[in-house]
A and B are shown apart, each in its own frame.
Chain A
Amino acid sequence: MLRKKTFTGGVHPPEFKSEGEKKKVETCPAPKTAIIPVSQHIGAPAQPVVERGDTVKIGDVVAKAGGFVSAPVHATISGKVKKIEKRPHPLGQNVLSVIIENDQADEWNPDIQFDEQYEKQSTAEMIQRISAAGLAGMGGATFPTHVKVKPPDNKKIDTVILNGAECEPFLTADHRLMLEEPERVLKGLQLIMRILGAQTGLIGIENNKPDAVRVMKAKVNELGLPYKVTSLPVKYPQGAEKQLIKALKNRKVPAGGLPMDVGCVVQNVGTAAAVYDAIAYKKPLIERIVSVAGPAIKEPKNLLVRIGTPFAEVLECCGGPTEEMGKLIMGGPMMGLAQYTLDAPVIKGTSGLIAMKETQSFRPPETVCISCAHCVDVCPMGLVPKALGQFVKHERYNDAKSYHILDCIECGSCSYVCPAHINLVHLVKFGKLKVIEQQKKAG
């Protein structure tokens, strides 16, 4: 029987992709000074291994992984380490960062070269290369990739899913990557599948990118690979891991579980391309594609940006923000983080920089909930956001917990549709922290 490839709930925000999706990826000039935070991933921060005055080449490790769930960070320009100090970070706090002054020599670490034997490497070596390259999920969640490709022995992975949904408005980085470098993406998928011993490879792309679907399908055929490219209905959050698995594989990740519980691993298309680079070239993650867009950007572009480039320089490369800019978002407008300074740098998870006009930057004042139930209808996780919001407002965290507040994926669909302009997902995020705090206290 034909099953509609989708999930329940979700919203249809305007896409705003028409300008960006036609723009070829350009290279943003390397920064004069790169700011490389030691924490660009979920997990323990990396530990600096360079000192002030050291000379570094592109690809040199400047901070080593701080544990298993951690990732090293690398120099993304060649030059001198000027300082190691706390600097503004896109996540809002000041974070220890290695500051490198560019000597403009653009000198690469000599180890970064094509390895003709790369396909013959052992699984352990491949994982080692991914780990050494400091890969972290490039869709924005920045979970260290080497952890994801090494599930516990009792979890058998049969399916690897590449996430090309790119369901956030404005973002076009993954779209351009699939159009321009489908081979890198597919080879990355091939390697991930080999590491995991998975048989099925699926690529999910929202059907507002028919050209990407076409290009990827053609490339799959050309390379004679057994992968299936699926065009998915446009619906936010199609690119959320659990929703994507449901749509493509009709498997439901159990509540509180991970994709590996249903035999799946999901990787962003950008991460897959980076996996290929890491294994075939031993190339660390030093640059990424960033969609620069939004109504307050002079010229929207897709830029290949060195990690550590301050936002100000990235915006400058697109003609700069217009006078009207009131808000800069890292990531998409649905889940992205508003920035307080343009001094913060591009990190591994920076999928986009969206500049909004000042007039679009404020939420309208909150009014009373009229129980319209729109939030309940759109919640892709089957929660009752209205009730969660009320529980959190009244500090009833036990009730919030029994209403499954911890299962929220923070997609923001509820806040998006609320006619009373209640920022439900914000309340839920706050409530989650409180619930986790209480759980820790209780032991």
Chain B
Amino acid sequence: MRRRTRGLAIAAGFALVLPLAACATDSGSTVLTWYTNPDAGGQDEIAQRCTEAADGAYRIETSVLPRDAASQREQLARRLAAQDSSIDLMSLDPPFIPELAEPGFLAPIPDDVADEVTQDVVQGAIDGSTWKDRLVAIPFWANTQLLWYRKSVAKEAGLDPEKEPVTWEQVIDAARDQDKYLGVQGAKAESLTVWINALVESAGGHVLQNPEAPADELELGLESDAGKAAAEIIGTIGKDGLGGPGLPTADENASMSLFQGDRGSFMVNWPFVWSASNAAVEEGTLDKAVVDDIGWAIYPQVDEGTDARPPYGGISLGVGAYSSHVEESFEAARCIVKPENQAYYFATNGNPPASTKAYEDPEVRKAFPMADVIRESLEKAAPRPQTPYYNEVSIGLQETWHPPASVDPETTPQDSTDYITAVLRGEALL
């Protein structure tokens, strides 16, 4: 009996030690962990490419974060607050960058790296990666929303969005006159904040007047003509049922389904809809005639003649301040954001590059005939408020501007301002 126990103990000891030994033999090169947002496998492929290019200096392993941006932020913030040294590289959604940069969770970027990774990069991506005048993350890919339209519906309404920018009013009238639905994101989620921010910015205002101020000194800019104009548009689409019955729960995918349906007319959405629609045709779940009928243009204007400020999104790379391999991580980041990798990522995963050079890639131009419109949109795009308290502002907006049918230009901007101010001062729950 005793001998058997000893045998078991030895076996257990081997079982514990063997995997470690395997690590030891393999650890000739440094292993970097890159926390990525879920995609179609593009970041994994880039990690492999950069591992090969590093020639043994380091090996990049990817670890996938949760699906939505808010959950990605939660996980990274929690682990960084606990000084997790396993976070070498991370894919960050721009609005959450200041929150991680402010307490020093992101390793400072050396000047030479900062100079290199901002060469030939769209301004929106540089702004989105900057906090208090310092580049704190490395622009990787940059996203923006376009106006997608059914050519047949636009023609019937006498509009040509490709040549002449359209206004929200025209889009709303066209949908109403032809008894069609508009594809907008009315769900109580981050996508609603994206919509509100784009409307307020397009109308010449800002959700936050002084985003760099401390929490109790932040001033909102919703009680303005811009805030009212935004509320007017959202409220009208909600009250008149123009977003369809699914509007209060519509996210980007739901908007896309609505737009592809019989009553689709116009939609504001990210470029992924193009690759998704084409994939659906290949799978046989969507008629090719629908894709042939799809047109694209710059985001709609709020005031006729004033350029729209489309939503800005995308991903920047951060290096963990508590990583044991900061230097190698910056090397890896420089490799990841190379224009050819960004072009590959756009062509295969549908995520637009932050590098202007990548737009010249023939593969990109083949896969995305609207590449030039995306680049133009990125130059005009406005980021969401950059503050460490972005989460409070965003959820506060969602609480007060949802459902869209309840939005009233006379009361919503003020209610929203009062509520968010109280939350930021620690006087109200969210």
Please indicate whether A and B come from the same complex rather than being unrelated chains.
no
Residues of A within 8 A of B (CB): none
Residues of B within 8 A of A (CB): none
